[in-house]
Structure 1
Amino acid sequence: MERLSTTGIVGSGVLSDDTNPRDWERRIAERSEQLYRLKLLRKLLVVWLFPGNLLLAAAVVVGPVLWRSGLLAAVLAGALVASVAISGRLLYREHLAVRGAESELRALECANREELLDELGSGDLLGAQRYYRAQLPDIIERHRSEARRDRWKENILQVAIIGGSIIAATVTAVAMSIVEFGWAAVGISLLVAVSAAFSGYAKYRERALGWQQAADALEREYQSVELRAGRYRRFDNDDEAYAEFADTVEALRNEQVQRLRSTVSGAIGQ
């Protein structure tokens, strides 16, 4: 079996030339924990950038009306501009950090898998199939992670649409008596329209449902092959059962890829 090239991984410091295979699990666990923390911070920044700044925008509109202060309006407007700029920049930096950590984690996992497959030997097909099943929980978790990510994006857009619509209606009513707030009503209405259009284009809800369905289907196969349930009850030996299992899992993963492509192409065609 051809070994996976890890030159880029070694050069980046993720792996060293004398990496001990026994240390890979520890390194993968450490990298996974780092990735979890980065993603958590990114979620907090998303909350700050979208709902947080939306509430601050509402304060910019409502505050001066309640307290009749032009100075307050200027201070709140400056705070809004600064908040959007800072949160946007921090979110972008955190996004790059998450992508880097994900790439390093995938590199570690790939190198670890190749090493273990080499240890099994080229003739141990059943061992390779069993190892393939052992790796399936990681694939399932990634599918569910993608589903959670798409649901999170959809929820953010819905908050912007619903909250923005309420604020836009309030500002429009205020603008009937205070003409200066007309521009705010236009801006917030534009934000709502853009959010609604992007939500319809990206189809995050459909994508999240597809990822979740694929994860559930893979988990059923994962449990069934060991319990000899469902389609696997007719097999008397591991060779046939695990061959069927590998074929079914690959078919399910290919189906998910085709479904995702269909969703994206359908959004583009609209």
Structure 2
Amino acid sequence: MERVDTPGIVGGGVLAAEDRKQGDWERRIAERSEELYRARIVQRLLWTWAGPGNLLVVVLGVLLAALPVPLPVVLVMFAIAIVSAGVAAAFVYRQHFRVRAVDTELRALESAHREQLLDELATGDLLDAHKRYRAQLPELIERYRAEARRDRWKDQVLQTVVIGGSIIAATVTATATSIADVAFFAVGLSLLVALSAALAGYANYRDRSAAWQQIADALEREYESVELRVGRYRRFSEEREAYAEFAEAVEALRAERIGRLPSAVADRLAQ
């Protein structure tokens, strides 16, 4: 007797279709995440070119102007600096909007995926409300980590300016003892280093970045622990009790960690 295969709930039917749909969401989100990661790497390289790279070209031009070098060579060096700064600014401008577009698309995909998951839980039950709260937590964790990356990047830029500027300023200052024309440049560079050091100390981007990262890591541990029933949740046999404890623990954790931060940063975290 010939067997006739018909689509059912299992194996090529409803569940298989749902699995394919879920996998499609995850694939699209993973692709956009990778695209955003690459775009941000390009953006950082362009900022390096636009900032320290062009600054180095200007420094070389000033040093050549102070040395017995033919005037056309000096003019060519400054022309290269001007053209390089203009091209770098154009690329930075375009890349900024590219990163913004990919980030917006990724957030829209994640929001749509999250709404789909929440619709499956929307029954009006308190347990479902706690599960929806957990489903929304990855977005908050990612936002905190994005803030950590931004503050870490700001700290790295300021430290690079302070260290690199100090070295260049010391070299230019030593040169100024024999070439008086570069003295004004040494003063300006020293002022830039001092301002960068003051900003780094006042804003304290390193500690702020660590605070963002610690909160994100702590929330992620709670996010995983309640599902696996480990840590504080191992004592609960009922799912309802575990998720109630989870919601309370997350709110207490956010309040405790945010309360230790400066008021301006705490206001941003509490949003």
Aligned to 2:108: 107
In the TM superposition, what is the alpha-carbon distance from 1:67 to its structure 2 partner? 6.6
CA distance in 1, matches of 2:215, 2:126: 26
CA distance in 1, matches of 2:214, 2:56: 35
Identity of aligned residues (%): 57
TM-score normalised by structure 2 residue count: 0.76
SS at match of 2:218: helix
Distance 1:159 1:142, change over 3 A: same
The answer as to whether partners of 2:173 and 2:186 remain within 8 angstroms in 1 is yes
Taking only aligned residues, the RMSD between alpha carbons, in angstroms, comes to 3.1
Deviation digits for residues 50-95 of structure 1 (CA, Å, limit 9, x no counterpart): 3322332332244456673433322222222322232233223322
Aligned to 2:174: 173
In the TM superposition, what is the alpha-carbon distance from 1:209 to its structure 2 partner? 0.9
Distance 1:103 1:261, change over 3 A: farther
Mark the runs of 5 or more structure 2 residues left unpaired by the alignment: 1-20
The answer as to whether partners of 1:50 and 1:160 remain within 8 angstroms in 2 is no
Q: Whose RCO is larger (CA < 8 A, sep 6+)? A: 1
CA distance in 2, matches of 1:96, 1:203: 28
TM-score normalised by structure 1 residue count: 0.76
CA distance in 2, matches of 1:118, 1:112: 10
Aligned to 2:184: 183
In the TM superposition, what is the alpha-carbon distance from 1:141 to its structure 2 partner? 4.2
Distance 1:110 1:245, change over 3 A: same
CA distance in 1, matches of 2:236, 2:154: 43
Trace 1:67-146 onto structure 2 (pairs within 5 A): 68-127=69-128, 129-130=130-131, 132-133=133-134, 136-137=137-138, 139-146=140-147
CA distance in 2, matches of 1:223, 1:22: 20
SS at match of 1:121: coil
Larger radius of gyration: 2
